[in-house]
């Protein structure tokens, strides 16, 4: 082999085992079940301001606490007579109207001293463990995957694909859960651009044989992905980082395969100053990306298999600060989208007149949402995953497929 070719091929070795894991050409992959369900989890990093996302416009205390940041009643996208969405969230308001969006208000966790550390709060959500001493480095979805792995001991598939350039989230880690990292579509295209190795020869040995065994299956998978680009591109997605991630996820789902966990996130929600414009832009990008993804799933005939969960590690304080922003708070709304969710408003909106040291009091334990997804969507026993039993919130339909064999999960971080 020429030195340049060797270096190109060698650079793919670390990626090669990953690529076929979520594409149907993978050697040894299990046959995909057509009734597999997919869960899309979108993490909103930084602490999303719930009050200016799901706006309590009819509450007189809202304007009193936020004289500069309040959203005018006439601009709110009203969901009922008292609350509505940020004016930049029209695509999600349309999903709500179409009965494909559920909003759970007042979500948090019971703790007399809520943790306002980004890292600690996210670790609580990822692990589903309030006490640090109870955390083992495994996440709630990693433990759910472990349960599935115990039933599919011969599977060589990757259980999760993390879309991003940070560490794989704790939520995806388990005893046996196999999570890999993919930064962008470019990593897939790298395989196709290098060129397929020459036909197998009786003289193959050593490095040449090793590279062929490693790269060949990945090349086949990546080549199909590259060839799907013209037909798969969808102009509904925004050109933002989040929009590109959601479009990439959609294309992976459409190609089939057995991996069911993809994780990605949207950052920028730590709005301590100049919040109005920044938060509005984030809300627009989030809404457009989620709505485009849902439309894509509808048009692809996959909508009944896909549910999206969007959360943030904490909300913001009720009162605005002196820098035209908001500081770390507690309770916040959680979104679920899809054809199989129970649409509408869930949970009780926290009172703005009965605060806990300036913070909203949580009304829904986040683990009740996890419980609903585990029991009614993924068909996983939740008490072992969540280290306890939590009454599932009635936000998702139970599996109705006639041949539900394998749970399915998709994440975006």
Read off the DSSP letter of residue 79: S
Buried b vs exposed e over 40-76: b needs ≥16 C-beta within 10 Å? bbbbbbbbbbbbbbbbbbebeebeebbeebbbeeeeb
* CA-closest candidate to residue 5, choices 194, 191, 186, 193: 194
Spatial contact of 257 and 228, defined as CB atoms under 8 Å apart = no
Upper half-sphere CA count for residue 393 (Cβ side, 13 Å): 25
Rounded Cα–Cα distance for residues 262 and 410 (Å): 4
Q: pLDDT 10s digit of each residue in the chain, 413 long?
A: 444 444 444 444 444 444 444 444 433 333 334 458 888 899 999 999 999 999 999 999 999 999 999 999 999 999 999 999 999 999 999 999 999 999 999 999 987 677 889 999 999 999 999 999 999 999 999 998 888 776 554 555 567 777 877 888 999 898 887 777 777 666 665 545 555 555 555 555 554 454 444 444 445 555 556 666 555 567 689 999 999 999 888 887 787 766 677 788 999 999 999 999 999 999 999 999 999 999 999 999 989 988 999 999 999 999 999 999 999 999 999 999 999 999 999 999 999 999 999 999 999 999 999 999 999 988 888 888 998 999 999 999 875 543 333 334 444 44
Rounded Cα–Cα distance for residues 49 and 354 (Å): 18
Which whole-number Å values give the CA distances from 181 to 189, 261, 301, 389, in the listed order? 15, 11, 28, 32
Reported pTM: 0.83
Number of neighbours of residue 326 by Cβ within 10 angstroms: 27
Q: Which two tokens stand for residue 226?
A: 């590259």
Rounded Cα–Cα distance for residues 127 and 39 (Å): 17
Query: Computed over its alpha carbons, how large is the radius of gyration of the chain?
Result: 22
Alpha carbon of residue 146 to chain centroid:
19
Spatial contact of 114 and 127, defined as CB atoms under 8 Å apart = no
* CA-closest candidate to residue 257, choices 225, 291, 212, 219: 225
* CA-closest candidate to residue 337, choices 89, 133, 146, 159: 89
Which whole-number Å values give the CA distances from 41 to 126, 177, 200, 244, 336, in the listed order? 11, 17, 42, 16, 9
3-state helix, strand, coil in the chain (%, to 5): 40, 15, 45
Spatial contact of 335 and 310, defined as CB atoms under 8 Å apart = yes
Rounded Cα–Cα distance for residues 159 and 387 (Å): 22
Q: What is the pLDDT of residue 298?
A: 95
Sheet harboring 77-78: ordered strands across? Answer: 54-55, 84-85, 77-78
Residue with tokens 């008490």: 383
Number of neighbours of residue 210 by Cβ within 10 angstroms: 14
């Amino acid at each position: 082999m020429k030195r340049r070719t060797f270096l190109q091929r060698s650079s793919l070795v670390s990626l090669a085992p990953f690529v076929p894991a979520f594409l149907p050409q993978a050697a040894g992959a299990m046959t995909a079940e057509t009734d597999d369900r997919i869960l899309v989890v979108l993490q909103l990093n930084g602490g999303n301001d719930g009050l200016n996302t799901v706006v309590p416009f009819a509450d007189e205390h809202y304007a009193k606490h936020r004289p500069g940041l309040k959203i005018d009643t006439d601009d709110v996208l009203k969901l009922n007579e008292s609350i509505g969405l940020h004016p930049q969230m029209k695509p999600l308001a349309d999903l709500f109207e179409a009965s494909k969006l559920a909003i759970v208000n007042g979500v948090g966790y019971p703790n007399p001293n809520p943790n306002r550390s980004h890292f600690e709060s996210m670790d609580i959500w990822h692990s589903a463990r309030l006490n640090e001493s109870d955390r083992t480095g495994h996440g709630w979805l990693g433990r759910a995957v472990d349960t599935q792995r115990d039933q599919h001991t011969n599977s060589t598939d990757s259980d999760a694909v993390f879309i991003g350039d940070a560490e794989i989230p704790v939520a995806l880690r388990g005893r046996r859960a196999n999570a890999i990292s993919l930064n962008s579509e470019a990593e897939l295209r790298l395989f196709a651009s290098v060129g397929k190795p020459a036909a197998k020869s009786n003289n193959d040995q050593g490095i040449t044989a090793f590279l062929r065994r490693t790269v060949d299956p990945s090349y086949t998978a990546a080549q199909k992905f590259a060839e799907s680009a013209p037909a798969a591109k969808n102009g509904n997605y925004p050109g933002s980082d989040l929009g590109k991630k959601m479009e990439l996820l959609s294309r992976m789902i459409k190609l089939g395969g057995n991996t069911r966990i993809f994780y990605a996130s949207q950052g920028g929600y730590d709005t301590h100053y100049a919040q109005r414009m920044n938060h509005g832009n984030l809300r627009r990008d989030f809404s457009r990306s989620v709505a485009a993804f849902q439309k894509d799933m509808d048009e692809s005939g996959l909508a009944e298999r896909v549910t999206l969960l969007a959360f943030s590690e904490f909300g913001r304080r009720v009162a605005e600060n002196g820098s035209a922003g908001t500081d770390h708070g507690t309770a916040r709304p959680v979104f679920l989208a899809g054809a199989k969710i129970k649409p509408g408003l869930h949970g009780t909106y926290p009172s703005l007149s009965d605060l806990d040291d300036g913070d909203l009091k949580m009304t829904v334990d986040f683990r009740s949402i996890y419980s609903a997804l585990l029991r009614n969507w993924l068909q996983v026993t939740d008490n072992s995953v969540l280290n306890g039993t939590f009454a599932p919130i009635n936000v998702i339909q139970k599996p109705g497929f006639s041949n539900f064999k394998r749970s399915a999960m998709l994440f975006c971080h």
